[in-house]
Structure 1
Amino acid sequence: MNTSNPYEAPKADVAMPVADEPQTELVASAQKLIIYAILAYFAAAVVRMLLGPVGLLVGVTAVLMGLVGAYRLCTGLGYPMAVRVLLMVLMCVPLVSLIVLLVLNGKATRRLRDAGYRVGLLGASR
């Protein structure tokens, strides 16, 4: 006779493992910084139209957040130093910097989803 219960729930481990690499955590925190920089770029444009010179301060803050976030993300993704320097130079060009941030955000999203993170509008969560 068969001793197994046909109504018993399966015992398979279906949970996707989350990678606990320090580089993945660096990518997650850098991606949040990049997302905030992208949002600050758009906020700077609106504030500059409404309040004038105050928008410039928001724009400079967005550029600094973008520079730091891009460098940290390139470090987490393992890019060579030459690529990091090239991206930092490209971050100084106004519209190109926004495109660079969007491309880096896409690469970070792909890496984080492969590592088992859920990625939403404002960054990754476990």
Structure 2
Amino acid sequence: MLSKRYQWKLDFYNKGITGTLPSEIGLLTRLYSLNLGSNNFTASVPSEIGSLTLLNVLHLGSNGFTGSVSIEILLLPSFTGSTLNNTNVTTSLSSAIVLLLSKRYQRTLDFYNKG
């Protein structure tokens, strides 16, 4: 594993960013933390995030994301947690499987949505 010195953290929490998250996000191969929470992103979460093998934390909550989250994102080797709360994102996993995954791999998976 690369030392933190050679890894990247992007924190754009609550910056008023609008539009879609480009699939090119998957090219940031040294990314270990991505926080895009509380912006105005729309469309689906790019499946290319699933290629970020160093990613530990993914915060995408309180955005306008729709569609489903790729299982590859949830099963990344270094992945420890995700917040996708207050979005219209779903997962193809049943809630029972999500619970098992979170316990088995000690991962936090927050899909809570208001309403």
Give the TM-score band, short-chain normalised: under 0.3
Point out the structure with the larger helix share. Answer: 1
User: Which has the greater radius of gyration?
Assistant: 1
Point out the structure with the larger strand share. Answer: 2
Q: What is the TM-score normalised by the length of structure 2?
A: 0.23
Q: What is the TM-score normalised by the length of structure 1?
A: 0.22
